[in-house]
Chain A
Amino acid sequence: MSTLMTNLKHIASEAEYNKVLQENENVMIICGRMGPMCVPVYDAAEELEIQYKHIQFYDMLFDLPDSKVIRGLPECRGFMGLPFTVYYKNAKVVKATSSIQTSEQIQEILNAHF
């Protein structure tokens, strides 16, 4: 399995990751597994994707070797809870969170940064 079973767009390699960030101004990437703390975040993102059309929502399987591009981010240092959710503006990280987030918490970040 190289992608997650969600309705979000998937990133499956470092090359795809770089392409997404180069081609889009506002990006949110959820890096996780199909686990109990991750699924609610994917679900929330799927709902918010309809509302926030100026933001691109992606997921990436945590166990992919290429997910080091997210796991290794300085902003994710100290993270010990899945999923790692990273928000990018012009390819730069503006916010990163660890573990489950509610839709409200995600919206707060989206509204603040995008």
Chain B
Amino acid sequence: MGFIKQAPISLQQVSDQELISLYLNGDETVIQELLRRHKTKIFTSIYLLVKDQYLAEDIFQDTFIKVINTLRSGRYNEEGKFLPWVMRIAHNLVIDYFRREKRAPTITSADGTDVLNLIQIHEESAEDRMLREQTHVDLRKMIHHLPDEQKEVLIMRHYADLSFKEIAELTGVSINTALGRMRYALSNLRKMMNIKEVIVSKE
């Protein structure tokens, strides 16, 4: 049984901002509802950026500790945009981690010229894995082979469900740039998928 209990219907219907107000007024239980609403989006985004379940767990936990500390200190003023704010905290913690470890993913050109690395991915795949699991593995690898800026936008748009405006603000670029990066990301994913299909068909 999970630790996140189903909130009363009334609590499920209130906005994030109202939940935060309740928390600031002493109702600690509303954190459960905020976690229930956003944990999958936030955790998946972190996981796909760091590629490690345990590290993602740590960063997810640190993210919410920062959230709680900020709420308690009265410094939260995001005017209802809770998820983008939490994603910004998570994003910064991921960047901090890569800076510390000095092993940030390789930055490649925006035209996706590194997509042929997929051949190497294919060769590294374990042949005895179940097809479904393998698909997940391959797709995660494809996402990781995207240039950093494209990967960020794809993850924030699809998994964190942020708008392009929010992504633009979070990453410090224009909306058009964010849109362009998403388009490149999708285009590169398609190239990689096509390459993989060719490889499979030759076997």
Q: Do A and B come from one complex?
A: no
